[in-house]
Amino acid sequence: MAKKNKEEKKKSSQGLPAQKKSKKKMIIWIILFFLFSGVIAGGVTFFLYKKKDGYKPVNSEYFSISEKTEKFIYLKAVLVHQQLKKVDADLILINHEIERVKGIQKEYPDQKKITEKAISKWEKLKKNILKQVKKTIVRLDYIYVQYLVNPETGAVILKQESEKINGALKALLQKIDVETKILKTAIPAKKGFIDKIKGVFK
């Protein structure tokens, strides 16, 4: 009987190291699984963040908008942000035409009457565009501050106002397009100027 008990103890003691080894392997596999999952999750998060954060500010030479407001509008009302970029591109085009005509004026000072009329026309258009853009930026700041104070109320105002602002900017761009059609079709632009326009949308 005593001999049988000894043999059973011996067998059970031989089985313990194998069980411990099996548990260690399981723990190692669990740790590796979580580490691997973390790496994948981190990579996906990084990729999505980079994609979402691929925003480029307008950086207009003609109007300014708060960095925080602009980033907020890009994330919450991206169409409005795109329209602002288009308006800026048109302002670059108009300003380029003003400078071009001024160059002609310097070369032919006796024909100032012709060049002054053209410059006045483009300056007036530029002024009207900037007037509307500044009003738009005031409204965008209003939306952003409302959202900061009360996100729930701000979200409702954002939805209502962003649709109106987007519509107003779209109408403005259509009006600009009519006025600047001659510039976009008849005047050959230099490569550097084309690059500048393209750079607005990158």
Nearest to 90 by CA among 61, 111, 117: 61
Segment 71-96, tens digit of pLDDT: 999 999 999 999 999 999 999 999 99
User: Does pLDDT of 140 surpass 60?
Assistant: yes
| Number of alpha carbons in the 13 Å side-chain half-sphere of residue 138 | 6
Question: The tokens of 58 are what?
Answer: 């307008």
Paired tokens of 83: 């329209």
pLDDT at 124: 97
Percentages (nearest 5) of helix, strand, coil residues in the chain: 90, 0, 10
Enter the pTM of the model. 0.67
**Is pLDDT larger for residue 189 or for residue 155?**
155
Residue spans of the domains in the chain: they are 1-54, 67-200
Q: What is the DSSP letter of 109?
A: G
Percent of the chain with pLDDT over 70: 65
Q: What is the distance between the alpha carbons of residues 125 and 179, in angstroms, rounded to a whole number? A: 8
